[in-house]
């Protein structure tokens, strides 16, 4: 009996597509429309390529951002989404905080992490392995950094449970998101640890990283980039643009973002960070699974003197890059050009400002009571 043809037997996207069309009796004309060279993505970004999928792309802004070094610049924000009202909402938030003058955004590079788990003979041996690693940290750093001229080992955290030793290595990977770089470096470090100790690495990724999962460790210690953004808005701006009041916004934050999150056991004390993070990620070629970490964070709101509003967002774990991954794809490259950012730190600043704008606008809509109305108007086609 002749073996059945599988997708891996077919050598290009056209043959795989034709196979599926015949097998499933469907037409894939729209999926066949790609604007990149197959050879530049297969083996780098994807396997079993059959084409591409499109997501509508909108623009929010302009958004005026002041960075931690006091430089002020105006940005446009590309948002790839299928959710009606999202771009309009972020645009409204951009208008409000740009009317104020600018928004301050600060970024701290924490580093991408990789966390192997080692099995030891017993608790005592686990302690000995940890001690050896600490004593030989400089040698391990040298080995890690030999794997790439763009990588630096920043630090290591440890946790022992039973005879298991968990290590969390932090790496500076410059403008790359750097997960692969961190993995390759950690592999070399693990090889030396196994040679010099009695420990056996059970998994190169032991969930102490924590990669592509929401966790308190990422929330508290940070991962990738920590981002803070803030704005102070007058009562008049809030009334004219956001159609509500500072006290109403503050109350929604307290009862929704704090109490509601506590009651539900949420790790996100915010309204919808993931919405903005996912849309910018999709537009600019980031790893979409890192929206899991990007959803973490805290929104704060306070009524100040003269009824002005202090509003801020904090994202402790933003995993981004401006080189590598999907950032080289043609449409993603154009979206990055729209942002006009020079490196991953500036990209993080703009994304932080975009989250601030989107968060402010949604919470104002909830405070005003127009969330359903906005989605009826913009989120679905009228009959």
**b/e map 47-80, b = 16+ CB within 10 Å:** eebbbbeeeebbebbebbbbbeeeeebebebbbb
Q: Considering the candidates 18, 38, 83, 251, report the single residue annotated as catalytic.
A: 83
**Cis amide linkage into residue 376, ω under 30° from 0:** no
Q: Active-site residue 191, yes or no?
A: no
What Rg, from alpha-carbon coordinates, does the chain have?
A: 24
**Residues 282 and 55 sit within 8 Å (Cβ to Cβ):** yes
For residues 320 and 280, the answer to whether their CB atoms sit within 8 Å is no
Question: Catalytic one among 287, 302, 307, 368?
Answer: 287
Please state, in angstroms and rounded to a whole number, the distance separating the CA atoms of residues 59 and 46: 27
What is the C-alpha separation between 143 and 324, in angstroms, rounded? Answer: 22
Active site residue 83: yes
d(CA 90, CA 347): 17
Say whether 375 is catalytic. Answer: yes
Q: How many angstroms separate the CA atoms of 309 and 97, rounded?
A: 11
256 token code pair: 């929704």
Contact 254, 261 (CB under 8 A): no
Which residues are known catalytic residues? 83, 287, 375
């Amino acid at each position: 009996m002749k073996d059945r043809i599988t997708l891996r037997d077919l050598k290009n996207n056209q043959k795989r597509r034709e196979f599926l069309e015949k097998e499933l009796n469907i037409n894939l004309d729209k999926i066949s429309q790609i604007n990149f060279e197959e050879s530049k993505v297969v083996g780098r970004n994807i396997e079993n390529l059959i084409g591409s999928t499109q997501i509508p792309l909108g623009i929010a802004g302009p958004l005026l951002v002041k960075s931690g070094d006091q430089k002020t610049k105006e940005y446009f924000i590309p948002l790839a989404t299928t959710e009606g009202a999202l771009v309009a909402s972020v645009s409204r938030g951009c208008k409000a905080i740009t009317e104020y003058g600018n928004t301050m955004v600060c970024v701290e590079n924490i580093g991408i992490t990789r966390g192997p788990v080692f099995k030891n003979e017993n608790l005592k041996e686990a302690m000995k392995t940890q001690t050896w690693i600490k004593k030989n940290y400089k040698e391990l750093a040298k080995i890690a950094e030999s794997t790439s001229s763009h990588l630096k080992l920043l630090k290591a955290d440890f946790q022992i449970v039973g005879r298991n030793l968990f290590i969390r290595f932090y790496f500076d990977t410059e403008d790359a998101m750097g997960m692969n770089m961190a993995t390759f470096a950690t592999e070399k470090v693990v090889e030396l640890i196994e040679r010099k100790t009695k420990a056996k690495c059970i998994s190169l990724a032991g969930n102490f990283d924590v990669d592509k999962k929401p966790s308190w460790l990422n929330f508290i210690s940070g991962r990738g980039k920590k981002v803070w953004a803030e704005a102070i808005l007058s009562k008049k701006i809030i009334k004219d643009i956001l159609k509500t009041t500072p006290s109403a916004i503050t109350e929604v934050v307290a009862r929704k973002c704090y109490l509601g999150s506590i009651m539900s056991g949420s790790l996100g004390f915010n309204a919808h960070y993931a919405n903005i993070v996912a849309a910018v990620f999709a537009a600019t070629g980031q790893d979409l699974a890192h929206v899991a970490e990007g959803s973490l964070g805290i929104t704060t709101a306070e009524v100040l003197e003269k009824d002005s509003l202090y509003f801020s967002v904090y994202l402790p774990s933003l995993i981004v890059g401006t080189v590598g991954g999907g950032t080289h794809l043609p449409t993603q490259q154009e979206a990055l050009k729209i942002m006009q950012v020079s490196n991953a730190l500036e990209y993080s600043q703009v994304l932080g400002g975009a989250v601030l704008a989107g968060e402010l606008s949604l919470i104002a809509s909830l405070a005003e009571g127009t969330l359903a109305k906005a989605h009826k108007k913009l989120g679905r086609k009228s009959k």
